[in-house]
Structure 1
Amino acid sequence: MAKLSDIIEEFIKEMFNDSNNNIILIQRNELADQFSCAPSQINYVLTTRFTYNKGYLIESKRGGGGHIVIKQLNHEGSNERETIINQSIGNSITYHNAVDIIENLYESNIITDRECELMKIAINDRTLILTENRNKVRAEILKAMIMVSLS
Structure 2
Amino acid sequence: MSILADKIEQFILHKLLEEEEENIVLRRNELADELNCAPSQISYVLSTRFSNDKGFLVESRRGSGGFVRIVRLRPKQQDRTPVLLEERLPAVSITLDDLDGFLFQLIKQHRMTNREAILMHQTFDALYKEIDDEAKRLAVISRILRHLNTH
Under a length normalisation based on structure 1, what TM-score does the superposition of the two structures give? 0.47
- By relative contact order (CA 8 Å, sep 6+), the higher-ranking structure is 1
Rg bigger for which structure? 1
